[in-house]
Structure 1
Amino acid sequence: MGAASALFLFVLVITGEAATLGITNQCSYTVWPAVVPGGGRQLDPGEAWVLDVPAGNTSGRVWARTGCTFHGEGNVSSCQTGDCGGLLACTAYGRPPSTLGEFAFGGLNAVDSFDISFMDGFNVPMDFLPVPVQVQGRAGCVKGPRCPANITSQCPTELKAPGGCNSACRVLKQDKYCCTGSAAHNCSTTNYSVFFKKMCPDAYSYPKDDPSSTFSCPTGTNYQVVFCPLMNQAMSPPAESPVALPAPIGPTSMKPKSSTVTRVVTILAPVGSFILLTVVFLLAYFICKRRTHRQHEMEEEEEFGELQGTPIRFTYQQLKAATEQFADKLGEGGFGSVFKGKFGDEMIAVKRLDRAGQGKREFSAEVQTIGRIHHINLVSLIGFCAEKSYRLLVYEYMHKGSLDRWIYCRHDNDAPPLDWSIRCKIITHIAKGLSYLHEECTKRIAHLDVKPQNILLDDEFNAKLSDFGLCKLIDRDMSQVVTRMRGTPGYLAPEWLTSQITEKADVYSFGVVVMEVISGRKNLDTSRSEESIHLITLLEEKVKNDHLVDLIDRNSNDMQAHKQDAIQMMKLAMWCLQIDCQRRPKMSEVVKVLEGAMSADNNIDHNFVVARNVISSVPPLSSHVSGPN
Structure 2
Amino acid sequence: MLMVFLLIWRNKIKWCGSPLFYNQGSAGGIIAFRYTKLVHATKNFSEKLGGGGFGSVYKGVLSDSKTTIAVKKLDGAQQGEKQFRAEVSSIGLIQHINLVKLVGFCCEGDHRLLVYEHMLNGSLDGHLFKKSNNVDAVVLNWNTRYQISLGIARGLSYLHQSCRECIIHCDIKPENILVDAAFVPKVADFGLAAFVGRDFSRILTSFRGTIGYLAPEWLSGVAITPKVDVYGFGMVLLEIISGRRNSSPEISHSTESSSNSYQHHEYFPVQAIKKLHEGDVKSLMDTQLHGDFNLEEAERVCKVASWCIQDSEFDRPTMSEVVRVLEGLQEIDIPPMPRLLAAMMEQSDAATSM
What band does the TM-score fall into relative to the shorter chain? 0.7 to 0.9
Of 150, 162, 166 in structure 2, the residue corresponding to residue 440 of structure 1 is: 162
Of 282, 301, 304 in structure 2, the residue corresponding to residue 569 of structure 1 is: 301
Cα separation, 2, equivalents of 1:150 and 1:440: 28
Of 120, 142, 150 in structure 2, the residue corresponding to residue 420 of structure 1 is: 142
Deviations 1:306-337 (A, max 9, x none): xxxxx211111110000001010001111111
Of 13, 21, 37 in structure 2, the residue corresponding to residue 318 of structure 1 is: 37
- Equivalent residues of 2:276, 2:302 under 8 A apart: no
Deviation at 1:548, TM superposition (A): 2.6
* Counterpart code for 2:241: I
**Structure 1 SS opposite 2:96:** coil
The alignment status of 1:581 with 2:313, answered yes or no, reads yes
* Counterpart code for 1:401: G
- Equivalent residues of 1:536, 1:609 under 8 A apart: no
Q: Give aligned pairs, total.
A: 317
Alignment match, 2:75:
354
Change (3 A) 1:362 1:455: same
Of 450, 475, 480 in structure 1, the residue corresponding to residue 197 of structure 2 is: 475
* Counterpart code for 1:607: P
Alignment match, 1:510:
233
* Counterpart code for 1:352: K
Of 42, 45, 49 in structure 2, the residue corresponding to residue 330 of structure 1 is: 49
Change (3 A) 1:531 1:473: farther
Deviation at 1:355, TM superposition (A): 2.2
Q: Relative contact order: is structure 1 or structure 2 higher (C-alpha 8 Å, sep ≥ 6)?
A: 2
Of 346, 358, 370 in structure 1, the residue corresponding to residue 91 of structure 2 is: 370
Deviation at 1:475, TM superposition (A): 1.2
Cα separation, 2, equivalents of 1:395 and 1:433: 17
Alignment match, 2:254:
none
Cα separation, 2, equivalents of 1:519 and 1:394: 33
Alignment match, 1:538:
271
Alignment match, 1:489:
211
- Equivalent residues of 1:540, 1:607 under 8 A apart: no
Deviation at 1:579, TM superposition (A): 1.2
Alignment of 1:97-108 (within 5 A): none
Cα separation, 1, equivalents of 2:218 and 2:25: 38
Change (3 A) 1:502 1:438: same
Structure of larger gyration radius: 1
* Counterpart code for 2:177: I
Cα separation, 2, equivalents of 1:488 and 1:476: 26
**Structure 2 unaligned spans of 5+:** 12-20, 252-261, 346-354
**Structure 2 SS opposite 1:358:** helix
- Equivalent residues of 1:540, 1:608 under 8 A apart: no
Deviations 1:353-399 (A, max 9, x none): 13233322111100111112111111111111111111110000110
- Equivalent residues of 1:577, 1:608 under 8 A apart: no
Deviations 1:469-504 (A, max 9, x none): 000001122122222241111111111121221001
TM-score (norm 2): 0.83
Deviations 1:92-150 (A, max 9, x none): xxxxxxxxxxxxxxxxxxxxxxxxxxxxxxxxxxxxxxxxxxxxxxxxxxxxxx98236
Cα separation, 2, equivalents of 1:561 and 1:362: 40
Change (3 A) 1:563 1:149: same
Deviation at 1:585, TM superposition (A): 1.0
- Equivalent residues of 1:544, 1:606 under 8 A apart: no
Alignment match, 2:24:
149
Alignment match, 1:464:
186
**Structure 1 unaligned spans of 5+:** 1-25, 31-81, 84-145, 155-310, 614-629
Deviations 1:418-463 (A, max 9, x none): 1111111111110110000000011110001111111111111111
Cα separation, 1, equivalents of 2:46 and 2:339: 43
TM-score (norm 1): 0.48
Alignment match, 2:281:
548
Change (3 A) 1:504 1:336: same
**Structure 1 SS opposite 2:287:** coil
The alignment status of 1:455 with 2:174, answered yes or no, reads no
- Equivalent residues of 2:303, 2:335 under 8 A apart: no
The alignment status of 1:405 with 2:126, answered yes or no, reads yes
Deviation at 1:537, TM superposition (A): 2.7
- Equivalent residues of 1:383, 1:393 under 8 A apart: yes
Change (3 A) 1:319 1:553: same
Cα separation, 2, equivalents of 1:400 and 1:28: 34
Cα separation, 1, equivalents of 2:281 and 2:199: 40
Alignment of 1:61-210 (within 5 A): 148-149=23-24, 151-154=26-29
Cα separation, 2, equivalents of 1:363 and 1:322: 20
- Equivalent residues of 2:105, 2:114 under 8 A apart: yes
Deviation at 1:570, TM superposition (A): 0.7
State percent identity of aligned pairs: 43
**Structure 1 SS opposite 2:330:** coil
Change (3 A) 1:568 1:527: closer
Change (3 A) 1:581 1:456: same
**Structure 1 SS opposite 2:272:** helix
